A and B are shown apart, each in its own frame.
Chain A
Amino acid sequence: GDSVTQMEGPVTLSEEAFLTINCTYTATGYPSLFWYVQYPGEGLQLLLKATKADDKGSNKGFEATYRKETTSFHLEKGSVQVSDSAVYFCALSDPSNNDMRFGAGTRLTVKP
C-alpha cells in the first residue's frame, strides 16, 4: 500500500542554518504530497503542499518540490529560526483512497 518514509530525527541546528528533511513515498497512483508541522501540545498545521509532479510548495520560507522520478518531497529552508522548532510530518493523499498516510515525523530543535 501507499506509504511515506521520512528522515529520522531528532535534528538539531543552530539558528540561521540550512535545513533539509528528507521524505520519500511509495504510491500506486498519483498522490498529492504534504508537509505538516506540529508544535508542542498542538494539532497538525498544514505547512505546504504539491498536487502534481514538479510542483513546488512553499510557505514561511519552507519549500519542497514534488519529484516523481525520485519519488521524493524533501523539505528545505535556507535559514531556520528558534521558532521553527517543532515536529515535521510528510504525508500523502492518493485519489484512490480517502485517507492520508503520514511519515513517523522528524523533530527539529533550533538553538540560538
Chain B
Amino acid sequence: DAGVTQSPTHLIKTRGQQVTLRCSPKSGHDTVSWYQQALGQGPQFIFQYYEEEERQRGNFPDRFSGHQFPNYSSELNVNALLLGDSALYLCASSLAYTYEQYFGPGTRLTVT
C-alpha cells in the first residue's frame, strides 16, 4: 500500500519565479492538506482540499494556490516567490471528516 508521495524531492528557484509541487494521497484517502515547515519550526497549515475544492485555508497570501484532481492528487502553486518561501512543504492525506493525517516526505524548496 503506497503511502503519501510528493514530487519533486528538492527544488531550487529564483526570487520572483513560480513553482508547482505535487502530491499523491495514500490509497483510499480523499482529502489533501498542505503545510509549510520552515527550518526549526513546526508545520504551518496552508490549505486543505476535498472534492476538488478548497475547504479551509490558513494564514497564507493569495500567492499560494492549489488544486485537487478527480483522482484526489493535488498540486500546490506558489507565485512570485520570495526568499522567505524557502521551506519544507509537506502534503498530508486523510479521509474526510477524520482527524488522522498521513504525511509525505516533503519537498524542500530553496529560493535564491
Q: Indicate, yes or no, whether A interacts with B.
A: yes
A interface residue numbers (CB < 8 A to B): 4, 32, 34, 36, 42-46, 49, 51, 89, 91, 93, 95, 97-105
Query: A105 touches which one: B42, B48, B55 (CB < 8 A)?
Result: B42
Query: A98 touches which one: B40, B56, B104 (CB < 8 A)?
Result: B56
Mark out the residues of chain B between 27 and 58 whose CB falls within 8 Å of any chain A CB in the assembled complex.
Answer: 33, 35, 40-45, 48, 50, 55-56, 58
Asked whether B42 lies within 8 Å of A103 as measured between CB atoms, the reply is yes
Asked whether B103 lies within 8 Å of A99 as measured between CB atoms, the reply is no
> What are 28 sample pairs from A and B whose C-beta atoms fall under 8 A apart?
A34-B99, A34-B100, A36-B103, A42-B105, A42-B106, A43-B4, A43-B90, A43-B105, A44-B43, A44-B90, A45-B103, A46-B100, A46-B101, A46-B102, A89-B43, A95-B99, A97-B56, A98-B33, A99-B33, A99-B58, A100-B43, A100-B45, A100-B92, A100-B101, A102-B44, A103-B42, A104-B40, A105-B40
Q: State the Cβ distance, A93 to closest chain B Cβ, in Å.
A: 4
C-alpha gap A108/B90 in the complex (Å): 21
Closest B residue by C-beta to A101: B45
Interface size on B, residues (CB 8 A): 24
Asked whether A51 lies within 8 Å of B99 as measured between CB atoms, the reply is yes
Q: Using known A-B contacts A42-B105, A43-B105, determine if residue A102 contacts B99 with beta carbons closer than 8 Å.
A: no
Asked whether B105 lies within 8 Å of A100 as measured between CB atoms, the reply is no
Q: Which residues of A contact B55 (CB under 8 A)?
A: 98
Q: State the Cβ distance, B93 to closest chain A Cβ, in Å.
A: 12
Asked whether A99 lies within 8 Å of B45 as measured between CB atoms, the reply is yes
C-alpha gap A89/B40 in the complex (Å): 11
